[in-house]
Amino acid sequence: MRLTLALREGTREEHDAVERTPYVAALLAGEVDAAGYAAYLRRLRPVYAALEEVGPAMLPDPWVAAVHDPALDRVAAIDADLAHWAPGAPVEVDSPAASAYASRILASTASGALYVAHHHTRYLGDLSGGRVVRQAVRRHLGATGPGLAFFAFDLAEKPKAYKDWYHSRIDALPTSDRDVEVVVHEARVAFELNRALLEELG
């Protein structure tokens, strides 16, 4: 089975659980205010900071080299959005869920396959479902440009073409059945960590 197909099929249940969290439902329904959205961004920041710390350090690993792309980096975009939605407020947050998620990513230095699981879960999710969240933020919070940096990727291709390219890269990796099992399991863990982060928001 291709790795991308294994990831899609193997994480379907966890993906659906994330979409059913009360926070996501409230955000899409327009029941989250600017402070509530900023609280979400603050929790995402250490997660992306961990991804952006591990990736460059692991570039010699062929798994990491296959997916690493600075154009996907989100920390600067999150900081820009926080400056818009919560000007003057600290970007740090006391979040056990965010800390646990970031720690798991930092531990992925043990294997490029583990890192790819987290990279795929976050960034490909941003390029897919992130569009729905962007529309909700724009519609319900009145953002017209400022405050939407998190969703603005400076890619050479349109998102669909980029995702196809990304998937072709990881599908071309020489993977054993064990590799696929490791990646899918870690992606499930990533979804559960993301769900815990959202549940923490209430």
Count Cβ neighbours within 10 Å for each residue of 19-51 and write b for 16 or more, e otherwise.
eebebbeebbeeebeeebbbbbbbbbbbbbbbb
Angle between helices 177-201 and 96-106 (to 10 degrees): 160
Predicted TM-score of the model (pTM): 0.94
Q: Please give the Cα distance from 19 to 111 (Å, whole number).
A: 28
Range with the lowest mean pLDDT among 54-58, 129-133, 146-150, 167-171? 129-133
Q: Cβ atoms within 10 A of the Cβ of 122, count?
A: 21
Q: What is the topology classification, in CATH, of domain 3-201?
A: Heme Oxygenase; Chain A (1.20.910)
The pLDDT of 72-81, averaged and rounded, is 96
Q: For position 1, what pLDDT does the model report?
A: 63
Q: What's 147's DSSP letter?
A: B
Q: Which residue has the tokens 């529309």?
A: 135
Rg for the chain, CA atoms, rounded:
16
Cα 141 to Cα 30: distance, rounded to the nearest angstrom: 8
Q: Quick one: average pLDDT of 86-104?
A: 95
- Residues 102-127 have pLDDT tens digits of 999 999 999 999 999 999 999 999 99
Mean pLDDT, rounded, for 68-86: 96
Structural domain boundaries in the chain = 3-201
Whether the pLDDT of residue 129 is over 90: the answer is no
**What is the maximal distance between C-alpha atoms in the chain?**
49
Per-residue pLDDT reduced to its tens digit, 140-179: 998 888 899 999 898 878 889 999 999 999 999 999 999 9
Q: What are phi and psi of 93, to 5 degrees?
A: -145, 145
